[in-house]
Amino acid sequence: MSPQKKRQSSWRIRLLGELQFNYRTFQYLGPEQWVPRTRIENLQSRVSRHIIKESAMQHLKHCQGLAQVFLIRSQSSRLSKSIIPSLSVWDGNISSRWRSTGGHGRQKYFNDRLPKFRFALAGLLAGSGAVLAYKLQQGKVQWAATSAELPVAETSTPPIYTLEEVTKHRSLDNGVWVTYKGDVYDITEFVAIHPGGDKILLAAGGALEPYWALYAVHQQEHVLEILSKYKIGVLNPESYKKQESANPSDPYSAEPTRHPALQINSLKPFNAEPPASILSDNYITPSVIFFKRNHLPVPRLDPKTYKLEIEGLPDGVVSLSLSELKSRFPKHTITATLQCAGNRRSEMNQVKQVKGLNWGIGAISNATWSGARLRDVLVYYGFGPEVEAKAKHVQFEGLDRDVTGSAYGASIPLNKAVSEESDVLLAYEMNGEDLPPDHGYPVRVVVPGVVGARNVKWLGKIVVSDEESKSHWQQNDYKGFSPGTDWDTVDFKSAPAIQELPIQSAITHPAEGTSLDLSDKELTVKGYAWSGGGREVVRVDVSIDGGKTWHVAKLRSSDTGQHPVPPPPGRAWAWKLWEIDIPVPHRAQELEIVCKAVDNSYNTQPDTVAPIWNLRGVLSNAWHRVKVKVSV
């Protein structure tokens, strides 16, 4: 933007020598900045309460060699008839100017050149600043001019904005605006000092409420006081109440509301993952940002009329209500990580294009799940040695259906379903609450240690059978193939359906391409690690030189920092979060950070993607690599 255009849209308030003065808050700002007109309007009301008297100019004149304050004003400013004081230092020469605009005509410039005060400049600046601050604090300073005072107007209502205007301010370049309870805030200056770093930018151009709900620390008085300093206006009533109208002909019209932090891979059906920057903030992933993997529209189910059918048992078809499921069977709780088969598919796309959603590293999350054990339910309704001798699989069918009426389905081996150590649940709670709609309300299957595709949501039917599910997603998807297999030669019947997943790890901090200021000479690296089948992660190795040298990260299995009791062998269902501080080599300009995990069976990750590439982009678990720049 040219200087002329900037002057047309804002006032620039500057002290030469990299000093600046923001007349809205009377604070030293540092680097040069443009002050929005809305802030000048806010200034007007403040000036009206703190009439600045003539003595200020007298004090400034006594401080020879002082800095000159420029107030360069828009021609379309509401203060069209104001007298604007202007003082500046040019290499020690003092220049006092008064600019008059509007109906009184343009007044004369006065320019008095005085001797240079190179050696006294620093002291003069400090002294004059103290005088000005003192006078402002006492409320005895008045802008003085030869013929007029600065006119101010009382503003009874704050500026009003639309949502469209707010959403245009989503970056540091364009300004960072957010809303909270109908008010609009310009928090651009606050981003650099936000205790949570640049995560605050996730809310840029939108509402703060969804993000503050994740972090209870924001629900405190002093936080609201800080926010209030950045208020610039309010939303108009239409924007505040705005809701998207539902289209009854659209099968996705009744979809639930999702958290705005989620990075969307597809809208219909909805598939999204949390940003890597917040993925490992919590050992237990908040339900609202737990990755969403839907294959069909989310069904709207009434818990009062919900029925779960069970087939393949001696007593024939069984129908079970939600209340019966909760009352007849003990409630069992586990902590388990779910991961999509396509997690980190984007890295396979970098080798060669594959078919599937372009997942990053966030198609994995960890939660507590509560419900009835599948084994308990099956045994209650007649499962025994006779059935076990014939059956080999347990099939699951969801209540989510496509336009043809076909439902999502999957199956798991019978021994996994009925083992006392498998902890397979008919879950009705997630993180201590009813399952959210996106996660299978009112009942879903949770099969810990197994690919997410077998954890069927909105469960409507269970079938104990000698056959796998005939579902497309069991027979013709979620299978791995050789890198040499393409879509012309692939035979889905030749490969088994994915069940247990291989060992996995990824770096959540720092992000790819980040420029790091390493004045402390250490780099903090964070991430997650998990292995399928209940195998426990026992080590994570981290390198910052592309794998030449390695460091062992510290693992944790809770949010509190305590050391929980290790899980029984074969039942480590939850991920490990890890962190490490690594010294940065002297004069390093770029770092290639690498991580790899090891489980208790000593399975580890392959070093590159190419040897495990496959046409569906599943089972992507090569060493995760992140490159960052270093600035000293």
Distance separating alpha carbons of residues 602 and 573, to the nearest angstrom = 17
Told to judge if 478 belongs to the known catalytic residues of this protein, a careful annotator would answer yes
- Facing residues of 582 across strands? 523
Distance separating alpha carbons of residues 200 and 212, to the nearest angstrom = 10
Task: Name the amino acid, one letter, at 56.
Answer: A
Reference 74, options 48, 32, 43, 37; nearest CA is: 37
Q: 3-class SS at 597?
A: strand
Cα Rg of the chain (Å, integer):
32
Helix (H) or strand (E) holding 333: strand 332-339
Q: Is the peptide bond before 330 cis (omega within 30 degrees of 0)?
A: no
DSSP characters for 50-118? S--BTHHHHHHHHSTTPPPEEEE--TT-S-TT-EEEEEEEETTEEEEEEEE-STT-PPPP--------T
DSSP characters for 531-549? -STTPPEEEEEEESBTTSS
Distance separating alpha carbons of residues 100 and 8, to the nearest angstrom = 17
Q: Are strands 183-186 and 231-235 parallel, antiparallel or unpaired?
A: antiparallel
| Catalytic position from the list 7, 24, 218, 551 | 218
Cα–Cα distances (Å) from 309 to 312, 395, 464, in that order, read: 10, 12, 11
Told to judge if 218 belongs to the known catalytic residues of this protein, a careful annotator would answer yes
| Catalytic position from the list 39, 185, 230, 340 | 340
Distance separating alpha carbons of residues 342 and 479, to the nearest angstrom = 11
| Catalytic position from the list 293, 344, 375, 444 | 293
Phi (first) and psi of residue 599, to 5 degrees: -100, 180
Told to judge if 293 belongs to the known catalytic residues of this protein, a careful annotator would answer yes
Residue 396 neighbours by CB under 8 Å, 6+ apart: 409, 410, 411, 412, 445, 454, 456, 459, 461, 462, 469
Distance separating alpha carbons of residues 456 and 398, to the nearest angstrom = 6
Cα–Cα distances (Å) from 126 to 19, 24, 138, 212, 392, in that order, read: 11, 21, 18, 41, 84
Told to judge if 194 belongs to the known catalytic residues of this protein, a careful annotator would answer yes
Reference 21, options 76, 83, 66, 79; nearest CA is: 66
| Catalytic position from the list 478, 535, 571, 616 | 478
Cα–Cα distances (Å) from 49 to 52, 134, 145, in that order, read: 9, 16, 19
- Facing residues of 620 across strands? none
Residues assigned a catalytic role: 194, 218, 293, 340, 478
